Homo-oligomer: A and B are copies of this chain.
Amino acid sequence: MSLAEDLYPSRGDCEPGIYPRIDPVVYASVDTPPPIARELVQRYERDGFLILEKLFSADEVAAFQCELQQLRDDPMLRRRDESITEHDGGALRSIFRVHALSALFGRLVRDPRLLRVAQYLLGDELYVHQSRLNYKPGFRGREFYWHSDFETWHVEDGMPRMRALSISIALTDNGEQNGPLLLIPGSHRHYVACGGATPENHYRKSLRKQEYGVPDDASLAQLAEAGIVATAVPAGSVILFDCNTLHGSNSNITPQPRSNLFFCYNAVSNRLLTPFCERRPRPEFIAARQRIEPLRELQGGLLDEW
C-alpha cells in the first residue's frame, strides 16, 4: 500500500459511486499561448476529449498501416509479453510499449503535432506511461467495457493525480458500425469509485476482458444521461482524451478492422508511486515506472529517413 495519501480510493472497502474530481483538467498557465485554437482547449476542458480530424496526411497513414502489418506479421514480436491475443482465439488484440518496439511509432510519439498539445494541456514535461497498438479485427473484434483509465492507473499502478491523457490515432476508418470508441462527455469531471477487490496478476486477464475497475450500472447511467459520443472518424484522425474520461467500445462483427494507436502521456511530476492496492505493480510494459525520461520533440519530418 502506498505511503502517499489516497485521494481517489476505489475497490476494496470503498463505497462505489460518484465522487468529485479534485484536479484540474487543463494545467497550462493562462499566459501560455495554446498550440491549438483556444475554443478547442475549452471544448477539451468541458467534454474531457477532443477530436482532431485527419491530423495526419494520407502518406503518413499509409506508412502507419504498413508498420501495423509488419508488426502483426513479426513472429518474434508475437512471442513477447507485449503481445496480447484475443480471449477466445489466437488473433492479436494489442501490442504494448509499441513506441519502443517500432522506430516509426517511436518517432510519432514525439511528433510536435501531438506532443505540443499534450504538454500544453498537462503543463509539464511528459513521458510515455503506456503505449498500445490495438487491432480490433474485423468479424470477431471484442468489446471494451466502460472504464476510466485513471481508476486503473491509480489503483493498480500508483498514479497519484489526474495529470495524464491519452491520444488515440485512427489507423483505419472508424465507422459507426465497426465498434468505434464511445466516450461519455463530462464524465472526466467526476470520479467513479468501483466495487470489488483487485486479484493478483489481474492485468493478464484484464487486458483481454475487463472485470475489475468496472463502474456500477447506476453511476454509468447517471453520467451517460447527457449522452454518449461515438467517434466515427476517418483514418489519420486523432482523439485526445483525459485520463479520467469514461470510454469503451462495442464489439465489431463487420469485416472492417478498426485499428488504433494509443499513446498515454503522463506529467513527469505525476510519476508512479506504490500502487494504491495491496498488489505488486504491473509490469513495466504496461505502466512505465523506470523509463520516465522526458520526451523531446522530434526534429524534422515524421517520415524523414523512412
Contact = CB atoms under 8 A, between A and B. Distances in A.
Interface stretch (A46-54, A98-106, A139-147): A139-147
Given A224-B255, A251-B251, A253-B146, A230 B182 contact: no
Contact of A251 (B138, B143, B177, B220): B143
B250 A217 contact: no
A284 interface: no
B139 A253 contact: no
A179 interface: yes
Interface string A230-260: 1000000000000000001111111100000
Interface residues of A, number: 23
A48 to B, nearest CB: 17
B250 A182 contact: no
A176 interface: yes
Contacts of A253: 143, 145-146, 182, 248-250
Contacts of A177: 176, 182, 228, 230, 250
A253 B254 CA distance: 17
Contacts of A230: 176-177
A248 B139 CA distance: 11
A229 to B, nearest CB: 9
Contacts of A179: 250
A248 B218 CA distance: 28
Contacts of A138: 217, 221
Contact of A250 (B220, B248, B251): B251
A224 B178 CA distance: 13
Given A176-B230, A177-B228, A177-B230, A254 B182 contact: yes
Interface of A: 138-139, 143, 145-146, 176-177, 179, 182, 217, 220-221, 224, 228, 230, 248-255
